Amino acid sequence: MKEPTVILTLASDIQKREEISKRLLKFGRVKIIEKYANAPQEIEEAANFVINVAERAEIRPELGYTEIIQGKTIKKFVFKGSNLNEILNDVKQNVLGAAYKLNEKLQELEKAESELTNLKNEYTKLLPFKGVSTDLTFISNLKRFVVKFYLSKEPVTFECCLSSVLERGKDEYLIVVSAEANKAREIEQIAYSKGLVELQPPSGSPEANLKEISKRIDDLQRNFLKLNEEVKELKLSLEHEINAALESLQVLKEVSEIGKPEGRFIISKVEILRSDIQRFYNNFKDIAIIGGLSDADEVELKNPMYMKNFDPLTETQGIPGPYEIDPTPIISIIFPFFFGFMFPDMGQGLVLFILGFIIYMKGWKNKKKWGAMLASFGAAATIMGLLSGEVFGFYVSSIPILGSFLERLAVLRSFSSLSTEAIITMLSVAILIGIFHLTSGYFLDFKQTLRKDKEAAFFEKLPILIAYIGAVFIGLSIIGSNYSFNLFTGRAALIGVPNRILSSITVPVTAISVFLFLFYTVKKENPLDASIQFMFIIIEFLANTISYSRLAILFLVHIVLMKTLNETVAMGAVSLPLLIFGNLGIMALEGLIVYIQSLRLHVYEWFTKFYMGNGTRFKGITDGLTHALIYVL
């Protein structure tokens, strides 16, 4: 479900800018559309400083999954004040000091890194002269002679003068050239033609300098590593405070930038949820003239408690547009069902449920939602495992005390037998599930098209929906007539309706739907394009429907994998580690594969039928605050 937003214009006395900012901050669920003014210097400088520190230190906005599982939580910092300055002072007193403390240590680390880099560069320049213990300072004082040093990838000789080649390493040679001073120009030309790199002779003894620099590099390296560890420890201990400072200062900065000056007045444009219009009027009518109500393109996803956890899955394909239906409620039911169908194990499902529940209880923002989704996947796998009688690959009857009771609930146990009949039945069930899923996609396409273009809905989308349903019934009639085309003479079909009745209804209705579709598309496009489009739709009908067979295939793959693993029980006590790590491996690998396949069925088979996802999500100025809460007194 989604809620639209609207844009409002506020006009108020320029002296009330700060009061407008304060009330917007207190209102919370509001987005500032246009920013004109600069934030107060104190807020601007503090915000930019914390942003700089957070970027240099690579501060994480959320806890990692490992920390969540370990039980680490985040307690929000609360900042209060009757105006923006008081809130800013509260931020400074409580958390801004953490950013300054980390900044000092970062500066030490950056200084050490700079010194280390400079020394390494100096060492690299001296490296070609390694082994030369002579003080080369005298070379710069020569008047009648010239001595030049070059670096080459191969041995090079200078016929015009005296030269020697010293091997410095693989494909690296130091070329020393000496001659009378008047040949300096000729030496440079030869070196240029051969692509040699000239080296400036160092002062003092290169060998002695290399040893000294190497020692200093070792000392600086140890100091750098020590400082790096100190920064990591300090960052971990202060990142909550720095995130709180970052979030609160960014909000203060944003609300301070509102208002376009127009003489004695300021004009401000804001966006709010349509349901908040009356509350907004009540909050601002005494200090501003409110007008310019217009619809905005952004939407807010407002799903019930359980369903909203699946918002991230919808968002992978984009936010619903103005005329689109939010598919999240359907996804919240079908996605876990698909996962459980392909991962039928009561024991492994419980493990996933517990892991997801821990992440949900301890996590923040999207991690909390992903934890809830994982718990729902685990719950679905547990239920499906119970119905199929699987617990860590063993039959439920092997469970002490509860085994006999759980055995009565295993109504799908026969599907785990891997017999030919069971496999065919499972494939048929999977295809049937796919038919219902695809039909819902075509129906949603018709329903949302009806909102903006009734003609296209009835002459393009509805015929496609009817044609798909008709194709399904025609297929059932063919199967019911033993794969012959005696559709109008057969007496019984798979669904218990005589073929002659079923076909007499579905074939004409399907034909009419195809005619309407072609008639409408030919009006918009040329006949060839319309025919090609129709052919692709027919191919999609078949390909998309068959794709759902993966539900049954992965169901059977899981059964086979667990049966194979559990054969190690015959090894006795030695099999225990194999069973434990084998189950963990299967949960990780197969769980990922099943998730990907569930996602694929939604993204490629279902979403493509009706969903564009070209909308934009509404985000108020205080939405998404994880580490801070701001109260305006």
Looking at residue 352, its pLDDT comes to 93
Confidence of residue 527 (pLDDT cuts 50, 70, 90): confident
Note the pLDDT tens digit of each residue in 560-614: 888 888 787 777 777 788 888 888 888 889 989 999 999 999 999 999 888 888 8
The answer to the question of residue 425 being in a domain is no
How many CA atoms lie within 13 Å of 72's alpha carbon, on the beta-carbon side? 11
The answer to the question of residue 167 being in a domain is yes
Residue 176: CATH number of its domain: 3.30.70.2750
How many domains are there within the chain? 1
- Does residue 459 have a pLDDT over 90? no
Residue type, 24: L
Note the pLDDT tens digit of each residue in 314-340: 988 888 887 888 999 999 999 999 999
The answer to the question of residue 478 being in a domain is no
Residue 615 carries which DSSP code? Answer: B
The answer to the question of residue 177 being in a domain is yes
* pLDDT: which is higher, 371 or 15: 371
Note the pLDDT tens digit of each residue in 272-317: 888 888 888 888 888 887 877 777 878 888 888 889 899 989 988 8
Note the pLDDT tens digit of each residue in 395-452: 776 666 666 666 677 677 767 777 788 888 888 889 999 999 999 999 999 999 888 8
Confidence of residue 29 (pLDDT cuts 50, 70, 90): confident
Question: 349-353: which pairs have CB atoms within 8 A and are 24 or more residues apart?
Answer: 349/377, 349/378, 349/379, 349/380, 349/381, 349/382, 349/383, 349/384, 349/385, 350/378, 350/382, 351/378, 351/587, 352/377, 352/378, 352/381, 352/587, 352/591, 353/378, 353/379, 353/381, 353/382
Looking at residue 405, its pLDDT comes to 65
The answer to the question of residue 173 being in a domain is yes
Q: Locate 249 and state its tokens.
A: 């200062």
Looking at residue 276, its pLDDT comes to 87
- Does residue 44 have a pLDDT over 60? yes
Quick count: other Cβ atoms within 10 Å of Cβ 603? 14
Whether the Cβ atoms of residue 541 and residue 513 lie closer than 8 Å to each other: no
Residues 256, 312: Cα–Cα separation, whole Å: 31
Looking at residue 271, its pLDDT comes to 85
Note the pLDDT tens digit of each residue in 485-510: 565 555 555 555 555 666 677 778 88
- Does residue 135 have a pLDDT over 80? no
Q: Locate 206 and state its tokens.
A: 């290169």
Q: What share of the chain has pLDDT > 90, as a percent? A: 14
Q: What is the mean pLDDT of residues 101-107?
A: 91
Looking at residue 41, its pLDDT comes to 84
The answer to the question of residue 558 being in a domain is no
Note the pLDDT tens digit of each residue in 339-369: 999 998 888 999 999 999 988 887 777 788 8
Q: Which single residue is written with the structure tokens 């300021």?
A: 266
- For residue 325, give the H/E element and its range: none
Looking at residue 524, its pLDDT comes to 74
Looking at residue 487, its pLDDT comes to 54
Question: Residue 578 burial by CB count (10 A; 0-12/13-18/19+): exposed, middle or buried?
Answer: middle
Confidence of residue 65 (pLDDT cuts 50, 70, 90): low
**DSSP string covering 159-184, please?**
TTSEEEEEEEETTEEEEEEEEEGGGH
Looking at residue 482, its pLDDT comes to 62
The answer to the question of residue 316 being in a domain is no
Residues 243, 508: Cα–Cα separation, whole Å: 65
Residues 461, 245: Cα–Cα separation, whole Å: 52
Q: Which single residue is written with the structure tokens 């005329």?
A: 323
- Does residue 144 have a pLDDT over 90? no
Looking at residue 294, its pLDDT comes to 78
Residue 125 carries which DSSP code? Answer: H
Mean pLDDT, the chain, rounded, equals 82
Query: Is the whole-model pTM more than 0.75?
Result: no
Q: Which residue range forms the structural domain that includes residue 146? A: 135-204
Pick from 41-50, 65-74, 470-479: least confident: 65-74
Residues 22, 17: Cα–Cα separation, whole Å: 9
